[in-house]
Structure 1
Amino acid sequence: MKENTFPPGWDSKRVSKVLAHYETQTEDDALAEDEAAFEIDGQTMIEVPTELVPAIRKLLARHKAA
């Protein structure tokens, strides 16, 4: 069996906390959270073809590193 690995800064406690948040969230709360994401200053939400996501992630990583 493969051992679970987490991204930097994450552990099983943090994962459990996030899961508990989304598993107990009402539909209204989920909708409000989704809508709030579109109103964050300095960010833009766009729809892109799935096959472009890896290239976009690479561009974002380079931008963040710069």
Structure 2
Amino acid sequence: MKQSKFPPSWDEKRVQKVIAHYEQQTEAEAVAEDEAAFGDLSQTVIEIPKELVPAVRELLAKHLGNKVMQSG
């Protein structure tokens, strides 16, 4: 059997916990979670080409880093 690869700080136990959470969630709870994610007016959701994801992540990291430096 092929060994699964997990992102840093993730393991089989954490994956199973996430799966269990969503399998036990009611439809109403799922809708509420989705609506809450899109309810934050300080953020937006956009589609970008996959090849731009690394560049966008880098920009976000710089942006978040600047916020940390300004508040600290």
Q: Same fold (TM over 0.5)?
A: yes
User: TM-score category by the smaller chain?
Assistant: 0.7 to 0.9
Q: Letter of the 1:61 partner, please give it.
A: R
Counterpart CA distance in 1 for 2:39 and 2:26 is: 21
Deviations 1:18-57 (A, max 9, x none): 00000011000000000000123532123x37xx1x1341
**Identity, % of aligned pairs?**
50
Q: Which has the higher helix share?
A: 2
In structure 1, stretches of 5+ residues that fail to align are none
Pair 1:58–1:8, CA change in 2 (3 A): same
1:29 equivalenced with 2:25 (yes/no): no
Residue 53 of structure 2: aligned partner: 57
In 2, Cα distance between equivalents of 1:40 and 1:9: 27
Query: 1:55 & 1:42 partners in 2: Cα distance?
Result: 25
Give the secondary-structure state (helix, strand or coil) at the position aligned to 2:9: coil
Q: How many residues align?
A: 62
Letter aligned with residue 60 of structure 2: K
**What is the DSSP-based 3-state SS (H/G/I as helix, E as strand, rest coil) of the residue aligned with 1:8?**
coil
